[in-house]
Amino acid sequence: PAPRVSVEANEETGYVPLPGVDYEPGTRPRVVVETSRGALVFELFTDDAPVHVYNFLELVKRHFYDGTTFHRVVPDFVVQGGDPRGDGNGGSAWRGGSLRAEFTPRKFVRGSLGMPRNDDPDSGGSQIFVCHRETPHLDGRYTLFGQLVDGFDVLDRIEVGDLIVSARPADGAASR
């Protein structure tokens, strides 16, 4: 079996699930984000960004996103939410602090789920963004950790101030 590797994660054990160790290779959990405009269903990329996926699932499990807003909508670019302050300047990872970037060769396309950050690539936290279209200038510069698989019509209707009513694992299982 593969060795267990600590990557500053689980606050009790210091461990994050890794693909091929804790996740079956190719496992892609799904999360339903219920918005005031309808449901968005995301498939998460555990093989590409295991720490970001774990972070997102932990925050979902804790109902962190419930009642937060989409504080930023740039037409034909992205919608952004998950900031408890609602102004784009708040939020942190499930353990506090920020996340190290997990850049991959995967391309940002319509429906890509990404992690906003500031000038420091290792500054992701709780906020999320979803692309309206292909955005090659984000490729390799932001962590891409999921893909919208249902709810593209909802994505197109989201406006600034719309709510994330709730977020839950699609299969009923939170993090492992």
Backbone angles phi, psi at 60, to 5 degrees: -60, -45
Q: Tell me: the pLDDT tens digits for 117-140?
A: 999 999 999 999 999 999 999 999
Q: Is the pTM of this model over 0.75?
A: yes
Q: Is-contact 42 154, C-beta < 8 A?
A: no
Q: Is-contact 69 59, C-beta < 8 A?
A: no
Residues 22-29 have a mean pLDDT of 72
Alpha carbon 52 to chain centroid, angstroms? 7
pLDDT at 171: 72
pLDDT at 174: 43
Q: Tell me: the pLDDT tens digits for 45-85?
A: 988 998 899 899 989 999 999 999 999 999 999 999 999 99
pLDDT at 30: 95
Name the token pair of 31: 């999360």
DSSP state of 154: H
